Amino acid sequence: MNNFKKIGLTALAASLVSVSANAGELSISGAASMNVGGYSGEGHDGGATFSMGNQFTVSGSGELDNGMTVSISYQLDNNAATGAGPFDDHSVTVSSDAMGSLTLHGHGGGSATSAMDATAAGNVWDTFDGIGLATGITHSNSAPGNNALSYVMPTIMDGVAVNLSYEPQQSGNSIDSGVGYAVTYTGIEGLTLVYSASDEVGTTAALSGDQTAWKASYAYGPITATITESEFDVQTAASDQDASSMAVSYTINDEMSVTYGTETFDTGGTGSDAEYDVIKGSYTSGGMTVSAQRKTAENIDHSSNNNADLEYWGLGLAFAF
């Protein structure tokens, strides 16, 4: 009798797996890159070094009987810094035309503000973070920890999109939770306007506050001009930060483009502004992108020391599949 039960349960399990597989879709996308670059500056000559990037994302989705769609995404990245080996960003999303989409980010989520606060120049500061004889600054934002929620509202009017975020109270935080919103307007051809504000849920009351950011971008023919501004304010004034950036891109043709951009970071404490600029070009053909860039940085640790000024050059070959 037990053998018959085992056979029946095995058949039932197989049928359930079969139904789930037929109801949904599974896809895999990936990216890889090969890069070479070098730093130079006062007392620092890093020479040329090679690096690579490799990751792939497994995504699946299926429609329920009530018309809602459930999707998952799981990223494997050998450079992930999550402490969990190669596993990186992962999320579950529930969506429908009537309700919009609700996403729970197990890892890799952001507040409504941090999700759109990349600088116009493309986060040039990140190239100099912790490089050289001086410790580079980082871009302060309200990005929450794991298990945060984001919500994209259904369309309320043409050209307007609203995103919301919720960060639950994390262990040791002094306030209960954090909320955020971002409003995007694209009602005029070529123009994109975004304004966002989110709570910063710090580990103490002194490190808690808020972040506001805005972005304006306008494309006219082959030229696109972008300006961004981010203000990060907490009760500890020395941790405040204002980040301003601008960039101009010129699309030569369908395959080639060039960009020039600048970034300036002003801290709430004493010290000089950290300033960055970049000029870069790229050529794309059939999923392959060849790029070249030159970046310069001054006062990367908000000091006027000679070793706080650096330059970087880089060449890259990237593939998407």
pLDDT band at 33 (very low <50, low <70, confident <90, very high): very high
Bridge partners of residue 36, in order along the sequence: 50, 315
**Overall pTM > 0.85:** no
Q: Are 162 and 142 in contact (CB under 8 A)?
A: no
Number of domains observed in the structure of the chain = 1
Domain membership of residue 144 (yes or no) is yes
Task: State the pLDDT at residue 248.
Answer: 98
**pLDDT higher at 254 or 175:** 254
| Across 81-95, 139-153, 218-232, 303-317, least confident range | 81-95
Residue located via tokens 């070094």: 49
pLDDT in tens, 174-198: 567 889 999 999 999 999 999 999 9
Which residue from 34, 67, 70, 65 is spatially nearest to 50, judged by alpha carbons?
34
Domain membership of residue 236 (yes or no) is yes
Task: State the pLDDT at residue 12.
Answer: 33
Bridge partners of residue 277, in order along the sequence: 262, 296
pLDDT in tens, 79-95: 655 455 567 889 999 99
Residue located via tokens 């990223």: 75
Domain membership of residue 63 (yes or no) is yes
C-alpha to C-alpha distance for 104 and 94, rounded to whole angstroms: 9
Domain membership of residue 297 (yes or no) is no
* pLDDT(74) > 60: yes
| CATH code, 167 | 2.40.160.10
* pLDDT(124) > 90: yes
Q: Are 210 and 165 in contact (CB under 8 A)?
A: no
Residue located via tokens 């329920």: 64
pLDDT above 90 covers a percentage of the chain that reads: 56
Distances (CA, A) of 153 to 61, 127, 163, 181, 198: 20, 35, 6, 11, 17
Tokens of 119: 């600088």
Bridge partners of residue 274, in order along the sequence: 265
Domain membership of residue 228 (yes or no) is yes
* pLDDT(15) > 80: no
Domain membership of residue 92 (yes or no) is yes
Domain membership of residue 193 (yes or no) is yes
Domain membership of residue 11 (yes or no) is no
Averaged pLDDT for residues 222-241: 93
Distances (CA, A) of 321 to 4, 33, 34, 270, 288: 47, 12, 15, 47, 9
Buried b (16+ CB within 10 A) or exposed e, 35-56: eebebebeeeeeeeeeeeeebe
* pLDDT(28) > 70: yes
Task: State the pLDDT at residue 80.
Answer: 56
| Across 22-31, 63-72, 91-100, 232-241, least confident range | 22-31
Which residue from 28, 91, 21, 102 is spatially nearest to 58, judged by alpha carbons?
28
Which residue from 214, 95, 98, 70 is spatially nearest to 155, judged by alpha carbons?
98
Residue 244: exposed, middle, or buried by beta-carbon count in 10 A (0-12, 13-18, 19+)? middle
Task: State the pLDDT at residue 135.
Answer: 83
Q: Choose the most confident range, by mean pLDDT, from 4-13, 50-59, 73-82, 268-277.
A: 50-59
C-alpha to C-alpha distance for 111 and 216, rounded to whole angstroms: 19
Domain interval for residue 122:
56-251+262-272
What is the residue-averaged pLDDT of the chain?
86
Q: How far apart are the first and last CA of the chain?
A: 51
Residues 6+ apart with CB under 8 A from 189: none
Task: State the pLDDT at residue 17.
Answer: 41
3-state secondary structure of 213: strand
pLDDT above 70 covers a percentage of the chain that reads: 87
pLDDT band at 3 (very low <50, low <70, confident <90, very high): very low
Vertex 149, ends 147 and 153: CA angle to 5°? 165
**pLDDT higher at 81 or 107:** 107
